[in-house]
Amino acid sequence: MGTFTIGETKVRPGEYHRFENAGGIPTAGATNGIVAGVIRANWGPLNKAVVFDPSTDVKAIFGKGQTEDLISAMFEEGNSKGYFVRCGTGGTFGTITLKDSATEAADVVTITAKYVGARAFTVSIRDSLTNDAKRECIIYDGTTEFEKIEFAKNADGGEAAALVAAFAASENFTAQKVADGSGALAPVTQDAFTAGTNPTVDTEAYSTALNALEPHAFNVLCVDTEDVAVHAVVHSFVKRTYAAGSYPMTVLSEKPGTDNTLDVRMQHAAAFNDAKVVYVLNGGEDTSGNKKEGYINAARIGGIIAAVPSNQSVTHYVVSGYADLAETLTNTQIEKALLSGCIVLTKNSSGQVWIEQGINTLITPSGNEDEGWKKIRRVKTRFELMQRIGDTTDALIGKINNDTDGRAAIVAAGQSVIDTMIAENKLAPGSIMSEDGANPAKGDSAWFVIAVDDIDSIEKIYLTYRFRFSAN
């Protein structure tokens, strides 16, 4: 005779029906192991987020010799994906002009790099080793072949035009004909480009580069500098993107110095007072005695935080590759640093370098924050819960009615995420989602409450030993 909604009582006798999706909607998974960073480089696009995975050739994209080592450090713990931006403004392009084979050689083709920067290239022009009808233009980065272009030998219209046409498909260089010349290009062996110059990098450049990351979801962001002014820009970016619906954390660090003592750095950490900001106080050394401090140390710890799932803590996590501490703290200093919201690197009983405690810079929680927001594990769990419920329920927006059935579907979708995270040992049993009784649904709006208990790790064990001289 018709349909009914949950809780409805009909006036007339008869059969009424309704249907529901017994299988529910797909439950969104965790977005984990995704990193992001801003670097300086001598090659690559400026102010554009480039997607990386662990197998991506960093040198091919961004060159070598600047701060692209941040990328490798963030992938060292096995993170699956990253977004990295080369920052800066200005700069010039490397270039070289090739000559023809005439006795009085003339300039015929100019090759120009597509990206500004001081990356050093050389070029060779030679006959093909495998095809008598072809010649080759080979561009080298040091002794490594970077790009090879084949073009017709003794081509109609001249080899200069043939080479320019062949460069049209290049992702790294452009070529422009200067003159026809004799029709043949002179052979050269690794003639050097006139090197370009790297872009200017200042605080504003970092702000611009960070904007390129805003459309992308990631777990942890790092930058390639210890500059506190840039750190302030990063903090503002993280707060802004969080307010807009993202769930970022950033890991920052500074290098020790005469004017940058432990106490000064502790003050810098405490000043953030933000669950989304992690500050690494001291660094390590690799097996060769190279210090890992400042931005590279932040990238290493940031990679750990991004990689470790939210049902695990980074407390007492051993930092592989760190053979010693670059800066050893006393017990008093360690306790002061922890109370200042610092990640501190110490050594375990086996002499391994590890993270003393997985905390962030939140010292004084606001009225809406509990003590759990001070712990990295719990922040990751809470961010993951919000991300997964948001992603899951987003599929229902505009597709269901704002009635009892529709709101029940929202609750069921959110509860499926909660139940999954309970099974993953991220939330405690009894965590629930329900309609907000204090805010009844109206129009196109509905309010819900997610009441959960996220699980912490045991980090402090108190043992009481009772000894006695005799049982009598």
The reply to whether 339 and 207 lie within a common domain is yes
Is 54 within a domain?
Answer: yes
CB burial class (10 A; 0-12, 13-18, 19+) of residue 197?
A: middle
Measure CA of the first residue to CA of the last residue in the chain; give whole Å: 84
281 with 295, same domain: the answer is yes
Mean pLDDT of 453-459: 91
Does 256 share its domain with 346? yes
Q: How confident is the model over 410-420, as a mean pLDDT? A: 95
| Same domain for 343 and 229 | yes
- Cα 372 from Cα 375, distance rounded (Å): 6
DSSP string covering 25-68: -PPP----SEEEEEE--SSS-BS-EEEE-TTS-HHHHH-SSSST
Contact 119, 59 (CB under 8 A): no
In this predicted structure, the answer to whether residue 147 has a pLDDT above a threshold of 80 is yes
Lowest mean pLDDT among 194-198, 290-294, 433-437, 459-463: 459-463
- Where residue 22 falls among pLDDT bands split at 50, 70, 90? very low
Asked whether residue 344 falls in the same domain as residue 442, the answer is no
* pLDDT higher than threshold 80 for residue 100: yes
Are 383 and 342 part of one and the same domain? no
Q: Would the pLDDT of 11 be above 90?
A: no
Q: Which residues contact 8 (CB under 8 A, 6 or more apart)?
A: 404
Instruction: Give the residue from 192, 227, 243 where a domain finishes.
Output: 192
Question: What proportion of the chain, given as a percentage, has pLDDT over 70?
Answer: 95
Q: What is the DSSP string of 232-282?
A: HHHHHHHHHHHHTT---EEEEE---BTTB-HHHHHHHHHHH--TTEEEE--
* 68 falls within a domain: yes
φ, ψ dihedrals at 292, nearest 5°: -115, 90
pLDDT band with cut points at 50, 70 and 90 for residue 14: low
Average pLDDT, integer, range 274-279: 98
The pLDDT of 309-316, averaged and rounded, is 96
The CATH number that applies at residue 185 is 2.60.40.4290
Average pLDDT over residues 327-339: 97
- Asked, for residue 330, whether it belongs to a domain, the answer is yes
- For the segment 313-327, the average pLDDT, to the nearest whole number, is 97
- Reported as a single tens digit per residue, the pLDDT across 228-267 is 999 999 999 999 999 999 999 999 999 999 999 999 999 9
Residue range 288-305: mean pLDDT, rounded:
97
Q: What is the CATH number of the domain that holds 287?
A: 3.40.50.11780
What global pTM score does this model have? 0.90
Query: Would you say residue 361 lies in a domain?
Result: no
Average pLDDT rounded to a whole number, residues 395-420? 93
Nearest to 150 by CA among 161, 139, 159, 137: 137
Is the predicted pLDDT of residue 10 greater than 80, yes or no? Answer: no
pLDDT score, position 369: 92
For range 306-335, the mean pLDDT: 96
Same domain for 217 and 181:
no
Q: Which amino acid is at 255?
A: K
469 domain residue, yes or no: no
Q: Are 80 and 225 within one domain? A: yes
Tokens of 146: 């970077």
Compute the mean pLDDT over every residue in the chain, rounded to the nearest whole number.
93
Q: Is residue 417 part of a domain?
A: yes
208 band by pLDDT with thresholds 50, 70 and 90: very high
- Kindly list the distances between the CA atom of residue 287 and the CA atoms of 231, 318, 321, in Å, as whole numbers in the listed order: 29, 15, 7
pLDDT band of 329, cuts 50, 70, 90:
very high
pLDDT-derived band at 49, boundaries 50, 70, 90: very high
- Claim to verify: residue 126 and residue 269 sit in the same structural domain: no
Instruction: Please report whether residue 66 resides in a domain.
Output: yes
pLDDT tens, residue by residue, 370-383 = 999 999 999 999 99
Q: Which of 243, 235, 399, 377 minimizes the C-alpha distance to 306?
A: 377
Q: Is residue 112 over pLDDT 50? A: yes
Between these two residues, 7 and 96, which has the higher pLDDT value?
A: 96
Quick check: is 460 in a domain?
Answer: no
68 in the same domain as 214: yes
Q: Identify the weakest region by mean pLDDT among 21-25, 37-41, 229-233, 346-350.
A: 21-25
Residue 301: pLDDT band (50, 70, 90) is very high
Q: Report the distance separating Cα 159 and Cα 445, nearest Å.
A: 69
- Residues 23 and 39 occupy one common structural domain: no
Residue range(s) defining the domain that contains residue 150 = 93-192
Of the pLDDT bands very low, low, confident and very high (cuts 50, 70, 90), residue 142 is very high
Q: What is the CA radius of gyration of the chain?
A: 30
Residues 226 and 334 in one domain: yes
Is the model's pLDDT at 327 over the cut of 60? yes
Residue 27's pLDDT is 75
Domain count, the chain: 3
Domain boundary among 159, 176, 192: 192
pLDDT of residue 472: 73
> What is the tens place of the pLDDT at every residue in 87-99?
999 999 999 999 9
